[in-house]
């Protein structure tokens, strides 16, 4: 069964500083990988996804992530954070199938705090 580990429960970053959120996955085949963001009281918004091809993927709001098969990682990065980036971030892996749509397994999330 697949699993996702987000080792950092809470990260605090100064506004304008760079950000890296860690994600490690466990899955037997090529995974489908996702990063979602959740603001307080809101649902989940997709930031970016990796299915195949270029291992560096670009997403919305200036985020990017790099798939590293050898490290089973899919870390999220942003070169300069904004106060509005404060939220909870979830990494997820999809099992994939002939149809490519199946349940997502989520990490426990990383709460991002931005300080002025």
Partner 1 sequence: GAGVSQSPSNKVTEKGKDVELRCDPISGHTALYWYRQSLGQGLEFLIYFQGNSAPDKSGLPSDRFSAERTGGSVSTLTIQRTQQEDSAVYLCASSLVGVGTGSYEQYFGPGTRLTVT
- Cα of 85 vs its chain's centroid, Å: 13
67 close to 33: Cβ distance less than 8 angstroms: yes
CB of 105 to partner 1, least distance (A): 7
Q: Which is nearer to partner 1, 16 or 103 (CB)?
A: 103
Judged by CB under 8 A, which of 21, 109, 110, 114 binds partner 1? Answer: 109
98 sits near partner 1 (criterion: CB under 8 A): yes
Token digits of residue 44: 């989940």
d(CA 109, CA 60): 19
State which of residues 27, 34, 74, 89 lies at the interface with partner 1 (CB under 8 A). 34
Q: How far apart are CA 73 and CA 96, in angstroms?
A: 18
State the nearest-atom distance from the C-beta of 76 to partner 1, in Å.
Answer: 16
């Amino acid at each position: 069964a697949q699993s996702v580990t987000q080792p950092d429960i809470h990260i605090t970053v100064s506004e304008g500083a760079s950000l890296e959120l860690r994600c490690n996955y466990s899955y037997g085949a090529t995974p489908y990988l996702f990063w979602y963001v959740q603001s307080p009281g809101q649902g989940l918004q997709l930031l970016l996804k990796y299915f195949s091809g270029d291992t560096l993927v670009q997403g919305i709001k200036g985020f990017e992530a790099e798939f590293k098969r050898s490290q089973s990682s899919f870390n999220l990065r942003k070169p300069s954070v904004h106060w509005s980036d404060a939220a909870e971030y979830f990494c997820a892996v999809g099992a994939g199938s002939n149809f490519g749509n199946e349940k997502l397994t989520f990490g426990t999330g990383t709460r991002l705090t931005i300080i002025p």
